């Protein structure tokens, strides 16, 4: 399975923000629910703009939403 090196805390942040649904987050960010699913499962790295929009939705710094974990 193709996994990206970028991990995220989106699922935890959704639950901490009123149990926000994936669809609600997708609508706020301007992507499809399937894209949010793919991001949470590490199957897709969002664009810089989408990453910032997600961080803004949670009112959280972007480096607390996403983390980069190199292979080494």
Partner 1 sequence: MTYQEKSVIASLVTTFVIFSIYFVKISEYCAAGRFETADGLSLLGKMILLLIVGGIVVSIIAHILIAIIYAIVTGGGEIDSSMTDERDKQIELKSVTLSYYVFGAGFILSMIAMATGIQAVPVFNMIIISLACASVFEGLARLYFYRRGF
Query: CA angle, 57 as apex, 53 and 63 as ends, to 5°?
Result: 65
| 23 Cα distance to chain centroid | 12
Residue 7 lies near partner 1 (rule: CB under 8 A): no
- Residue 20 or 50: the one with the smaller Cβ distance to partner 1 is 50
Burial tier of 47 (Cβ tally within 10 Å: 0-12, 13-18, 19+): exposed
Nearer to partner 1, 12 or 23 (CB): 23
- Considering only 12-20, 38-46, 56-64, which stretch makes contact with partner 1 by CB under 8 A? 38-46
Contact with partner 1 (CB under 8 A) among 17, 20, 24, 27: 27
């Amino acid at each position: 399975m193709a996994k990206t090196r970028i991990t995220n805390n989106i699922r935890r942040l959704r639950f901490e923000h009123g149990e926000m649904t994936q669809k609600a987050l997708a609508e706020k960010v301007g992507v499809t629910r399937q894209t949010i699913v793919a991001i949470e499962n590490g199957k897709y790295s969002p664009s810089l703009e989408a990453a910032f929009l997600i961080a803004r939705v949670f009112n959280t710094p972007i480096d607390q939403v996403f983390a980069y974990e190199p292979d080494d």
